[in-house]
Amino acid sequence: MRAEVLIIEDEREMAELIAMYLQKEGVATKICESAEQGLEIVKEHALDLVVLDINLPGIDGFEFLQVLRKKSSVPVIIVSAREGDEDVILGLGIGADEFVTKPFAPKVLVARIRALLRRYRSDPSGYSESGLLHFGPYSLNMEGCLLRKGSKRVPLSCKEFDVLKYLVVNSGKALTPEVIYREVWGNIYGDLTTVAVYIQRIRKKIEQNYSEPVYLQTIHGKGYRFNPETLISAKGS
Ligand code: CA
């Protein structure tokens, strides 16, 4: 798989281990030991994915992610020895796509990286007219993690995209956090508050008035619903 992955990790051995496994897959890697260096590299290179440690000298992985997400939707996998739920929720809440705790099986990490790269890749040269779903001023490219407002890209992580897509495809239905978690994360064991975190993040990106959502509505006691009235069925209308 041709891709370039940046590994931000201050433990040299860990970084080299991850790099070695990725190189076996034909993935090119860059390693840096601090988030500050990482931000410089991100500025200068078109990367396909970032593997991010949290405990770093200088600014930590969370801060890095917050800065990164202001300008890039490159997939990010956090690899951290901190496994508290708060860390996972915070990491996902500020735009990570995956959270892997140390120690981890390198094969598992590589499989997750491959899956994310594949999905991100299916975002074609930017824009394909097929497989687009329109709502309000937005178009959702069902093939890739891509949402546009007019011609402008809305930065969504792959997971945010998945949540939005699931709700749009099932528009009109009230979906409980349990169902959303099961269908999007493919897992029944997890922290359901993650769903609320994602809904909030997506709302911040697409709703004009965050407290009165037009698209992603809360149905009290039931869950969330994508408003079917905002869907535009005929393209170009
Ligand atoms: Ca570290």
Q: Give per-residue pLDDT as tens, 8-41.
A: 999 999 999 999 999 998 899 999 999 999 999 9
Domain residue spans in the chain? 4-121, 132-234
Tell me, in angstroms, the distance from the centre of ligand 1 to residue 35's CA: 11
228 cis-preceded (ω within 30 degrees of 0): no
Tell me, in angstroms, the distance from the centre of ligand 1 to residue 177's CA: 33
Residue 235 has pLDDT above 60, yes or no: no
Per CATH, which fold does 132-234 belong to? Answer: Arc Repressor Mutant, subunit A (1.10.10)
> 127 falls in which pLDDT band (50, 70, 90)?
very low
Residue 131 has pLDDT above 90, yes or no: no
**Global pTM value:** 0.59
Q: pLDDT value at position 192?
A: 86
Per CATH, which fold does 4-121 belong to? Answer: Rossmann fold (3.40.50)
- Measured distance between the N- and C-terminal CA atoms of the chain, rounded to whole angstroms: 39
Tell me, in angstroms, the distance from the centre of ligand 1 to residue 57's CA: 8
Q: Which of 150, 174, 189 is nearest to 226 (CA)?
A: 174
Cβ within 8 Å of residue 220, ≥6 positions away: none
Tell me, in angstroms, the distance from the centre of ligand 1 to residue 32's CA: 12
Tell me, in angstroms, the distance from the centre of ligand 1 to residue 10's CA: 5
Q: Round to whole Å and give the CA distance between 161 and 157.
A: 6
Tell me, in angstroms, the distance from the centre of ligand 1 to residue 45's CA: 23
Residue 234 has pLDDT above 70, yes or no: no
Tell me, in angstroms, the distance from the centre of ligand 1 to residue 82's CA: 10
Q: Which of 63, 12, 11 is nearest to 36 (CA)?
A: 63
- One DSSP character per residue, 175-189 reads B-HHHHIIIIIS-SS
Cβ within 8 Å of residue 52, ≥6 positions away: 8, 38, 61, 64, 65, 76, 77, 78, 79, 96
